[in-house]
Amino acid sequence: MGQRKGKKTWGLQAALLLMAIMLVVAGCSGNNTPNNGPAQTEQPGGNAGQAGENQPGDDQPETIELTWMVNDVMLPDSFGETYVEEKFNVKLNIVSIPRADYAQRQQIMMTTGDVPDVMIVMDPNEMKKYADQGLLAEVPMEMIEQYAPRTKAELDANAPQGWYYTEHRGKNYGIPTLFGGKTTTPGSWRVDLLEKAGVTEIPGTIEEMEAAFEALKGIGVYGMSSNGNSDYLTFQKIFGAFGVMPIQWTERDGQMMNGAVMPEAKEALTLLADWYQKGYIDPEFVTGQDLGPKFLDGIFAYNDNSSIFSIDETDPNSALSALKNINPEGDIKFGPLPTGPRGESGGWSWGTAANGIHFGAHMENEPEKIQRALEIIDSVINDEEVFVELAYGQQGTHWEYRNGTDLTMGVKQLPPYDDTVKLREEGIKGGETFFGGRPNFDLFYKYYGERLKEINETYAGNPVADLFGKPDILPSAGQYWGDLKKLKIEAYAAIIRGDQPIDYFDSFVEQWNSMGGEQLRTEAQELYDSLQ
């Protein structure tokens, strides 16, 4: 056969083969439509199948079966699962997915028809997609009022932005979870370096900070660093001192605004650029890397984002212990949130609502299941005994008072449950529960302990949260938010480093608005107005 002829036939045969493949595909596609039935029937290899059958008559008639998807590894028949089953007379089929895999696994399962009865959705934007696709059950406010009254009251009082997380196109699709209490991170100082530079008092205002930085410069230490590669962490405490928190939505006289483009942000940037130029700021702040080691190494003296456990000398692994280990003279102390020219201060906070618990669309036909789930959620959030069992476990087995006598110092998990992984395998989440997240504020503070509460109030007492909790939950946020974050990170870094003059801020604002910032502002306004 001639070569040229052969080539032509290849084209034909390729087409035939592709057609054959398309036929196979078409044949398969019949199976592709996902069935939206309850997950029990679809549950891959799970124990769900058997569970449906073992409903013997001697059980109480109101035993309800719930497939519940939780975001960490809980072993089958764990302490927590058994506790809920006995306490609330339900049969739970736990779909337990490690936190790192949760969002992706949930998306695949939802997309291919394995919709659980009850599930945490970790990002409100995912919830809105699911709701859009008709995968979630609507939960009318009256139902929440009736079956989870205490939680509703708590949300209304302490975390009203939670309702933004469960709302979509005017309907409510679940119950928000709490993220109490009101927290930001404290800032901490290398007081040994301050002393060495001749500063005796921990700075409390921007002016005192500036003086301290000048003195520190004299001994070859940068004043501060920050995570300059982050959309929200960059010099958060300095912006807070100017009464603004970039990239959060905030309200001024009924008008929605984004902190990133407010005039106060320009003020703060002016100061930061000045500080940078004077050599007070570690130029490597733009990487956002190695902040911990550099702080311990004495490269800079003010760490604007510390853990509240970092100066706990009783913890051999805390930052302070690590410092003492390399440098016995070294010392770290928390400082107050710095106060700005108008007496303002603040640090970033994620707000008091965490995310939402939602229900598969098929549950709309089984309202009694939603109701039972709501009752369980209401109970784990508000009943102290239930909360403690599911958040810390049993006293003496899983936890004990930190100081041995009472809650002043909070609680500590006992070995081997001081390892979070082991604790969670027991169905105990540690500080919060798998079935309702964190408790109401009273319970939260009670078990948080006086000591931490005091640190929080003294050094991190002014958390600033987005009006909607998370700034990216607006309808078109997905389209613009990524670009806006990138624009903000780059522009702020350029201005602080002096790569661009301060006036570049105005052109940054213009870009921000034209790249979707204005569109999102309008949406924020609408959302805000609609829920007032």
Residues from 266 through 295 that contact other proteins (CB under 8 A): 283-284, 286-290, 292-294
Instruction: Indicate whether 525 belongs to the interface with other proteins (CB under 8 A).
Output: no
User: d(Cα 487, Cα 505) in Å, to the nearest integer?
Assistant: 11
479 touches other proteins (CB under 8 A):
yes
Return the H-helix or E-strand segment holding 187: strand 187-190
Distances (CA, A) of 466 to 34, 159, 385, 472, 476: 38, 11, 32, 10, 17
Residues 355-414 interacting with other proteins (rule: CB under 8 A): 402, 410, 412-413
Q: Which residues in the 333-352 window bind other proteins by CB under 8 A? A: 350
Stretch that binds other proteins, among 2-10, 61-69, 194-202, 367-375 (CB under 8 A): 2-10
Based on CB atoms, which residue is closest to other proteins, 34 or 160?
34
Which residues in 139-198 contact other proteins (CB under 8 A)? 183
CB 292 within 8 A of CB 321: no
- How many helical (H) and strand (E) elements, i.e. helices and strands, does the chain have? 23, 17
Taking the complex as a whole, how short is the minimal distance between the CB of residue 454 and other proteins, in angstroms?
Answer: 15
The long-range contacts involving 420-424, CB below 8 angstroms and separated by at least 24 positions, are 421/73, 423/393, 423/398, 424/72, 424/73, 424/74
Q: Which is nearer to other proteins, 110 or 144 (CB)?
A: 110
Cβ distance to other proteins smaller for residue 88 or 222: 222
73 lines the binding site for other proteins (CB under 8 A): yes
# residues contacting other proteins (CB under 8 A) = 105
As to burial, measured by CB atoms within 10 angstroms (0-12 exposed, 13-18 middle, 19+ buried), residue 451 is middle
Closest approach of Cβ 316 to other proteins, in Å?
A: 7
- Determine the Cα–Cα distance for residues 393 and 388; give it in Å rounded to an integer: 6
Please report whether residue 513 would count as binding other proteins according to CB under 8 A: no
C-beta of 135 vs 148, nearer to other proteins: 135
Within positions 85 to 144, which residues make up the interface with other proteins, using CB under 8 A?
A: 95-96, 98-101, 103-105, 107-108, 110-113, 122-123, 125-126, 129, 133-135
Among 331, 306, 328, 329, CA closest to 320: 331
Single residue of 136, 155, 244, 299 touching other proteins by CB under 8 A: 299
Closer CB to other proteins, residue 369 or residue 470? 470
What's the rounded Cα separation, in Å, for the pair 414 and 421?
13
Angstrom distance (rounded) from CA 68 to CA 39: 10
Examine residue 500 and tell whether it contacts other proteins (CB under 8 A).
no
Pick the binder of other proteins from 211, 494, 502, 528 (CB under 8 A).
494
Pairing of strands 171-172, 174-178: unpaired
Unique residue bearing structure tokens 């829920």: 531
Instruction: Report 433-472 residues binding other proteins (CB under 8 A).
Output: none
| Of 19, 153, 326, 531, the one binding other proteins by CB under 8 A | 326
